[in-house]
């Protein structure tokens, strides 16, 4: 049975936004609980294990979350080709997961810190095993975002309840890794069952090696880019100590949670933009890309400014007063947000749908070299703050490399325009408003909530007065939804 026709881009983005909201709230709530129970040392111990497992999980995925979504989007209207491509990608996924598990097992046998804490690392390794049935790329390719949201929400609720029931003291750190791995398995197995209702998995008549050439470039790019996304935690744990990693984990968790908003928008657009290019609809592709970069800047600048202004309150609220040292690190990592937004737009929405995997590799190679050199130099001297500075410099160099490589292919897009400067100026001002509101409110919870609301209201209101189309669209949608809710409300008069 073939999948249903793809829904509208607005509906896709609505469900992706809901999906992202769950993924933002879940780690904030869970991390706030776990960090208070574990403390900096045990938190750093857990994050060292999960960082290493996450790196091998990315190796096992072989860039399928990106490549798979693009290839499925190309054939989603042809049931026979859809079955074949799905089966080929599943075979590749199973083989790569087996290889990654083998390499990870070798790491556990090497004498040293990992071998001494082998049971924790073995439990964290279950994250890698769950990759063999990870199928988000399929649902993104057919643009079935609602079912992904439902599975994600249910799994996250169950996981949080297990955390509260089973994690009560620092000695329960094994449960933290185990529950997280079980959650990943449950979510992915549920997705496999849903996928097999839409496509057929077969092993005969498939040609998995036909995907070798584009995947090789993406695999290399993934290995290098994941090195500077995840290995900062590993290097910090070994060179700066588990306590420094605990502080860095709090800061980078908040920063990367904010990244999810931008990444969700990018992920939503990839299948549709790939489909436009495959069918020759170049004008639609350019229009969607232009709207996307405006939306990314619209979101990035106020979030960057507001989170920077509220950093001490957010750290204290999320992890407790013993982690207040991480507030400075959080401020140092926040420039990553606009940098990641622009790099993801350029790399994943513009180049990737065009099949320019080699340029992604070159950018990742530059980033990995910069990151390794800076981390080795800065971490021994500045600990968690050195890792933060290295991360920002890495993302800037990777984005600049992409911009230099493709500057001639961007003539159909305008990104340094009046909209950009409006979002930049009013975004930075919203941070000042948030800081002032937080200063007046004092306590961490009212300061965080009140500061964010005050800064956000100022930002949206200023753009509305400037007749910004995105702000006007948001206002009209909110008014329409509110009117519908009032009309449906029962009359108690």
Q: What is the DSSP annotation of 156-217?
A: HHHHHHHHHHH--SGGGHHHHHHHHHHHHHHHHHHHHHHHTTTS----TT--GGGGHHHHHH
- Give the C-alpha separation, 379 to 241, whole Å: 10
Overall number of domains in the chain? 1
351, part of any domain: no
Neighbours of 381 (CB within 10 A): 9
CA atoms within 13 A on the CB side of 321: 2
pLDDT for the residue 293 = 83
Residue 204 in tokens: 């005969």
- Give the C-alpha separation, 33 to 348, whole Å: 34
124, part of any domain: yes
Name the phi and psi angles at 125, rounded to 5.
Answer: -65, -15
66, part of any domain: yes
Question: Rounded to two decimals, what is the model's pTM?
Answer: 0.68
pLDDT for the residue 2 = 47
91, part of any domain: yes
Host domain of residue 188: 1-206
Residue 331 in tokens: 């401020």
Q: What CA–CA distances, in Å, run from 293 to 99, 286, 320, 396? A: 37, 11, 36, 17
- Give the C-alpha separation, 66 to 361, whole Å: 14
pLDDT for the residue 266 = 66
Centroid of chain to Cα 73: 21
Nearest to 48 by CA among 181, 235, 222: 235
Q: With beta carbons less than 8 A apart as the criterion, state whether 191 and 136 touch.
A: yes
136, part of any domain: yes
- Give the C-alpha separation, 171 to 117, whole Å: 13
Rg (CA), the chain: 22
Tens place of pLDDT per residue across the chain (493 aa): 445 544 555 566 666 666 666 766 777 777 777 777 776 667 777 777 877 888 788 778 776 777 888 888 888 888 888 899 999 999 988 888 999 899 988 888 887 777 778 888 888 888 888 888 888 889 888 878 778 888 888 888 898 888 888 888 777 778 888 888 888 888 889 989 999 988 988 888 788 888 877 788 877 877 777 666 667 777 887 788 778 888 888 888 888 877 777 777 666 666 667 667 767 777 777 777 788 888 888 888 999 999 999 999 888 887 778 888 888 999 999 999 889 888 888 887 777 777 777 888 888 888 888 988 998 999 898 888 998 999 999 999 988 988 888 776 666 777 777 888 899 999 999 999 999 999 888 888 888 889 999 998 999 889 988 888 877 776 666 566 556 655 655 544 4
Q: With beta carbons less than 8 A apart as the criterion, state whether 254 and 35 touch.
A: no
Centroid of chain to Cα 239: 26
178, part of any domain: yes
Nearest to 32 by CA among 450, 445, 454: 445
430, part of any domain: no
Determine the Cα angle at 257 with ends 395 and 299, to 5°.
Answer: 75
18, part of any domain: yes
Q: What CA–CA distances, in Å, run from 490 to 23, 268, 478, 487? A: 33, 36, 20, 8
């Amino acid at each position: 049975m073939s999948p249903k026709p793809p829904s509208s881009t607005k509906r896709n983005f609505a469900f992706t936004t809901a999906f992202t909201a769950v993924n933002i709230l879940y780690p904030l709530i869970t991390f706030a609980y776990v960090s208070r129970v574990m403390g900096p040392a045990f938190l750093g111990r857990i994050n060292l294990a999960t960082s290493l497992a996450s790196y091998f999980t990315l190796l096992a995925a072989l860039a399928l979350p990106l490549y798979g979504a693009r290839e499925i989007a190309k054939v989603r209207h042809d049931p026979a080709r859809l079955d074949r491509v799905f089966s080929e990608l599943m075979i590749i996924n199973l083989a790569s997961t087996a290889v990654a598990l083998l390499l990870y097992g070798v790491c556990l046998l090497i004498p040293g810190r990992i071998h001494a804490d082998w049971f924790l690392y073995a439990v964290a390794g279950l994250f890698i095993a769950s990759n063999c049935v990870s199928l988000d790329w399929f649902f993104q390719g057919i643009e079935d975002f609602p079912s992904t949201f439902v599975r994600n929400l249910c799994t996250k609720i169950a996981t949080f309840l297990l955390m509260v029931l089973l994690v009560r003291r620092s000695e329960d750190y094994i449960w933290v890794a185990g529950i997280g791995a079980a959650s990943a398995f449950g979510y992915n197995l549920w997705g496999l069952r849903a996928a097999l209702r839409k496509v057929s998995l077969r092993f005969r008549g498939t040609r998995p090696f036909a995907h070798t050439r584009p995947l090789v470039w993406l695999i290399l790019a993934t290995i290098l880019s994941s090195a500077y996304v995840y290995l900062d935690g590993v290097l910090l744990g070994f060179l700066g100590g588990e306590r420094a990693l605990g502080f860095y984990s709090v800061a980078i968790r908040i920063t990367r949670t904010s990244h999810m908003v931008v990444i969700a928008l990018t992920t939503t657009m990839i299948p549709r933009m790939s489909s436009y290019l495959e069918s020759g609809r170049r004008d639609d592709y350019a229009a969607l890309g232009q709207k996307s970069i405006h939306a990314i800047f619209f979101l990035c600048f106020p979030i960057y400014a507001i989170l920077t202004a509220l950093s001490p309150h957010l750290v204290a609220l999320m992890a407790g007063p013993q982690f207040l040292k991480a507030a400075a690190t959080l401020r140092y990592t926040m420039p990553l947000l606009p940098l990641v937004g622009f790099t993801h737009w350029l790399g994943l929405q513009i180049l990737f749908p065009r099949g320019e995997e080699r340029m992604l590799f070159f950018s990742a190679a530059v980033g990995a070299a910069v990151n390794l050199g800076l981390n080795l130099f800065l971490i021994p001297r500045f600990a968690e703050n050195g890792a933060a500075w290295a991360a920002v410099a890495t993302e800037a160099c990777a984005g600049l490399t992409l911009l230099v490589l493709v500057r001639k292919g961007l003539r159909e897009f305008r990104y340094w325009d009046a909209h950009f400067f409006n979002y930049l100026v009013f975004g930075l001002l919203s941070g000042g408003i948030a800081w002032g509101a937080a200063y007046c409110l004092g306590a961490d919870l009212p300061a965080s909530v009140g500061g964010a609301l005050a800064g956000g209201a100022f930002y949206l209101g200023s753009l509305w007065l400037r007749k910004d189309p995105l702000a006007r669209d948001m206002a009209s949608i909110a008014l329409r939804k509110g009117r519908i809710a009032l009309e449906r409300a029962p009359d108690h008069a």
